Copies of this chain bind each other. A is one copy, B any other.
Amino acid sequence: MQQTNRAPVITNKDFFIRKITREILSGKWNPGDKLPSEREFASELGMGKTVVHSAFEKLASMGLVDIKPQSGIYVADYMKTGNIETLNAIVQLNGNELSKEVTTGILDLRLAIEGMAFRALAQCRSEEDIAYLRSVTEDIRKCSRGIGLEELAERFFVWHREICILSGKNILTLFMNTTHDVSIAFWVNYLRMYGTSFAIDRLERFIDLIEARDGGGAYNLLAEGIEDYLERLEEQTL
């Protein structure tokens, strides 16, 4: 039996990153606080300074700490100066549960990004584009029962990213990828709420509209879908 599973080994570095992330997001440290030095953490937790340093580099790129060379490491005002990676960290800590506020924000952005892509693609689409999208969609339908929800969410993300790629607007693709992690969390939620077959049917309706060069129609379908999702979410929380 071949074991292709990724090792669930928690390295010192990962452990440390999670520990500090949790402590900062839970409010144990406050923005502006000066953290103990890398050396103190290293000796206290029995690991090398390089490991601690490398972990702090990651935490800085996540927008959770500010590193001031030759001075110290300070907790960042992450809600002010954070970026998408900060959001990813917050979402992960909440067990991939998205708050309503985050969901709304993400969906509005998605509407802006994908709406543009839909319009552009509807204008420039070739026969090959349509055939390719249909084959990808068929693939998703085929394997939809055999794979986990998270993997299926990834497929949906890739499908929508494909729209951006085919539209020829490279920037949209790059933005789309930036929202990858939170998008996955969203799709898992979506698929749980509407069911797989309903979601796949929608993909096919999108393709039909693009084939008919009806960019506005595709945009509206997307907008309606988002609106309906937010309404359902509203009902759910009541």
User: Which residues of A are in contact with B by a Cβ distance under 8 Å?
Assistant: 50, 54, 57, 61, 63, 79-84, 86-87, 101-102, 104-106, 108-109, 111-113, 116, 161, 165, 169-175, 177-178, 180
Other 14 A-B pairs with CB < 8 A, given A83-B174, A87-B171: A79-B170, A80-B161, A80-B165, A82-B173, A82-B174, A83-B178, A84-B84, A84-B174, A84-B175, A101-B169, A101-B171, A105-B169, A108-B112, A109-B175
B106 touches A171 (CB 8 A): yes
Report the minimal beta-carbon distance from A148 to chain B, rounded to whole angstroms. Answer: 22
How far is A111 from B112 in the complex, measured between Cα atoms in Å? Answer: 9
User: A174 and B61 in contact (CB under 8 A), knowing A50-B50, A109-B112?
Assistant: no
Which 8 residue pairs spanning A and B have beta carbons closest together? A105-B171, A112-B112, A83-B178, A83-B177, A84-B178, A87-B174, A82-B174, A79-B170
Residues of B contacting A178 in the complex (Cβ-Cβ under 8 angstroms): 83-84, 178
- Counted per complex, copies of this chain come to 2
Report the minimal beta-carbon distance from A68 to chain B, rounded to whole angstroms. Answer: 12
Report the minimal beta-carbon distance from A183 to chain B, rounded to whole angstroms. Answer: 12
Report the minimal beta-carbon distance from A92 to chain B, rounded to whole angstroms. Answer: 14
Report the minimal beta-carbon distance from A106 to chain B, rounded to whole angstroms. Answer: 7
Residues of B contacting A83 in the complex (Cβ-Cβ under 8 angstroms): 174, 177-178, 180
How far is A3 from B86 in the complex, measured between Cα atoms in Å? Answer: 34
How far is A61 from B63 in the complex, measured between Cα atoms in Å? Answer: 14
